[in-house]
Chain A
């Protein structure tokens, strides 16, 4: 199946989507969470941070569909507002590594030689560097909170993209159309970014989808160690981590944010699969 041959028209769209159940499910889930995040103030039944001592630790009921936590905060509302932060984490936590990794990978792969050797040693170092040391150190240096988390993710995460792109670049730069481009007198910059990169990037796009899940989970792990987002913000990972104490008494505190992570992860993974098929990428 080729994407290029496809000219969008409403009917064609419908046919196209009909053939891509994975894409529909994946994109649908992400779209749902996106809408939820945007419409959070409208759809959330309660204020996500407002405490109410009268309704502490209530199991799910009609008043509180997902129950309440130990401050009497409505879990449903917190889950809805949490979508904002978690989508942001997934997106920002992936975009920067993606951009950095792509650039580095393109340059290293295209130029080869000493540039490549230096970058790849750096990649080796970061790969061998215990993720946790870096993560905790960065967070400790910059203080807990999302921006430190993003910086830590960007510092570590780019290597995967760089490796993917570089490997592709090494293959592509020897390809006939790259040589053809050289023979036609195109500049190196043009060849690198206009001709090779677009062809090399598909694998990274697909990987970024599963990476988004990994980023969310890294966030949750950081929360477990107590260095997640600043309270009283609602973030799913933090909610699961905080709800730990009530796991045997008030299961709903952890279950619903946990399920939300799973759903979002599922959406990302479906979209990744679909993109992989569409872009003709094999992991």
Chain B
């Protein structure tokens, strides 16, 4: 191992709130060698971001202070360096890539200018030279037309391109160390693969040292040399990646590895229910050549009012008691399909019938039936709950409006629901803002169950959660479908989860179903190249199953134009 460029020694960070100090980073020590990629993993709130920000002394609040330890950059202690020195260090020595490129890029400044800004400042080049250098960087990070794209604004790019720009900005000052804070969490797996590949390339070309923060062990396994695991501000263990992955010491690390969804053998596949449901001849839900189009950019002139087809010609049958997974990239029309099915978005053409009632023909009756017998769990746990109502109030309201339970039995029913989703009963008095994401998600599920529905559509209801919580929720669903003969449509862009939970899977691409079949079948032998690409892009926790191995994937991705990426919470 070559000499470390950066060593952290006993770094301690505390926050002072209400006169009390809380330790956020607790005596953390670690080393980063030249040319090395260090993976920093840990659950949300464990202090990963804070640790990296402490390195360059960009703490999020004046109440948070470094109160011990040292950060040695080639022998210099950054915790005691002057603010002027730090200006040189930031960007010049240590570059940062942030998780969410959409919010970290200046929306009102041209991409190129944001890159050349650092060049001009750190290298003292003239405007013209800086522009040339910036264009060079844009080329490096994979912009196809850098000269023109220099003058574009961030919002004109897809999420993947924005992340590339973000990397470009970090590279602009020619740093020795790159800190990448969850650089791909917001992106689709296919794009994620590209970005990770880009990082590896840059490391090759420039001999950079990289600290890669993530909560996805798969990514670490695929890209890093060493792994450090954090929890509650403490560094639990660190070491070479293979050591940690194969022989984890800490109980938490073991749990983390075990709950990774790319380990399919761990949980047994649910029993195929198809046999039993085949008996009931009538499908619960029938979708026939469904089209949903949205108007975009419609202004005074009719001619400019274009429509985009979010769902184009989807046909699908869902049998009672079935658990069906819908996968596809962001923007492929999964949510739109779900909403259209439930009558929450107008249908442009086609038919949806629920238990034989055609929504288009008997709209009022169909909607009434849908409202009473179906429920949806929304993707974003916070935004789907009214922030002003307690969970109890919310459930009471649903139960009252639905009227399936007598008023006197409502409190009892609420307790039951909370038990069912594994929330303590005192949560009835809480409001969403004082609950964690996972807890909110359970409340959302409880709300769906309160309707006592035949069909639940769960729209990416685990995407925002930690792997550990993800695993809990999946288990909950499995239990519920088994117990209550519920029909479940489970939407996700994460194939691993779907593979775990669903017996049947539908793959969507650009509003169309490109593949459909038993999960086992589809994952083992994808017929459509897109499905294959999706599956290949999942970073496996096994470092010996390298990501991006197939050259065909690369071609596939290049031929697909960048899709609009929706921001995730």
Contact = CB atoms under 8 A, between A and B. Distances in A.
In the complex, are there CB atoms of A and B closer than 8 Å? yes
Contact of A19 (B18, B383, B387, B402): B18
A183 B376 contact: yes
A183 B386 contact: no
A2 interface: yes
Contacts of B447: 180, 184
B401 A185 contact: yes
Interface of B: 18, 339, 342, 344, 368, 371-372, 374-376, 378-380, 383-389, 397-398, 401-402, 431, 433-434, 444, 447, 451
A5 interface: yes
A117 interface: no
A183 B18 CA distance: 42
Interface in A183-200: 183-186, 190, 195, 198-199
Contacts of A4: 387-388, 431, 433-434
B384 A177 contact: yes
Contacts of B18: 15, 19
Contacts of A198: 388
Given A2-B433, A176-B378, A182 B344 contact: yes
A175 B383 contact: yes
Given A5-B431, A176-B380, A184 B387 contact: no
Given A2-B433, A195-B389, 11 more contacts: A5-B431, A5-B433, A177-B385, A177-B386, A181-B386, A182-B344, A183-B371, A184-B401, A185-B372, A185-B402, A186-B397
A140 interface: no
A262 interface: no
A115 interface: no
A132 interface: no
A15 B19 CA distance: 11
A186 B451 CA distance: 12
B384 A184 contact: no
A29 to B, nearest CB: 26
A179 interface: yes
B451 A184 contact: yes
B431 to A, nearest CB: 4
A184 B375 contact: yes
Contacts of A175: 383
Contacts of A179: 339, 344, 376, 378
Contacts of B383: 175-177
Given A5-B434, A19-B18, A176-B379, A183 B401 contact: no
B188 to A, nearest CB: 21
17 contacts: A4-B433, A175-B383, A176-B380, A177-B385, A177-B386, A179-B339, A179-B344, A181-B386, A183-B344, A183-B371, A184-B375, A185-B371, A185-B401, A185-B402, A186-B401, A195-B386, A195-B389
A212 B472 CA distance: 51
Interface string A193-224: 00100110000000000000000000000000
A177 B377 CA distance: 10
Interface of A: 2, 4-5, 15, 19, 175-177, 179-186, 190, 195, 198-199
Nearest to B367: A185
A179 B398 CA distance: 14
B322 to A, nearest CB: 20
Say whether chain A's binding surface is mostly helix, strand, loop, or mixed.
helix
Contacts of A176: 378-380, 383-384
A265 B433 CA distance: 33
B434 A180 contact: no
B343 to A, nearest CB: 8
A95 B458 CA distance: 43
A190 B379 CA distance: 23
A184 B453 CA distance: 10
A198 B388 CA distance: 7
Given A175-B383, A179-B339, A199 B434 contact: no
Given A2-B434, A19-B18, A184 B378 contact: no
A15 B17 CA distance: 12
Contact of A183 (B368, B375, B379, B434): B375
A178 to B, nearest CB: 9
Most chain A Cβ neighbours within 10 Å, of B339, B386, B431: B386
A5 B451 CA distance: 28
A204 to B, nearest CB: 15
A96 B451 CA distance: 40
Contacts of A19: 18
A180 B376 contact: yes
A33 B386 CA distance: 37
A184 B371 contact: yes
A179 B340 CA distance: 12
A162 to B, nearest CB: 22
Given A2-B434, A176-B378, A184 B388 contact: no
Most chain B Cβ neighbours within 10 Å, of A15, A184, A198: A184
Nearest to B398: A184
Which 10 A-B residue pairings sit nearest by Cβ, starting from the closest?
A185-B371, A176-B384, A4-B431, A176-B378, A176-B383, A5-B434, A2-B433, A177-B386, A198-B388, A183-B376
B383 to A, nearest CB: 4
A188 B385 CA distance: 17
Contacts of B372: 185
Contacts of A177: 378, 383-386
A184 B386 CA distance: 13
A19 B376 CA distance: 40
A183 B444 CA distance: 13
Most chain B Cβ neighbours within 10 Å, of A176, A182, A190, A195: A176
A176 B387 CA distance: 11
B298 to A, nearest CB: 13
B372 to A, nearest CB: 7
A180 B384 contact: yes
A195 B371 CA distance: 18
Nearest to A7: B429
A2 B383 CA distance: 16
Contacts of A190: 401
A183 B371 CA distance: 6
Contacts of B379: 176
B337 to A, nearest CB: 14
Nearest to A176: B384
B486 to A, nearest CB: 16
A19 B63 CA distance: 14
A183 B387 contact: no
A185 B402 CA distance: 8
A171 to B, nearest CB: 11
Most chain B Cβ neighbours within 10 Å, of A175, A180, A195: A180
B387 A199 contact: yes
Contacts of A183: 342, 344, 371, 374-376
A55 to B, nearest CB: 55
Nearest to A197: B388
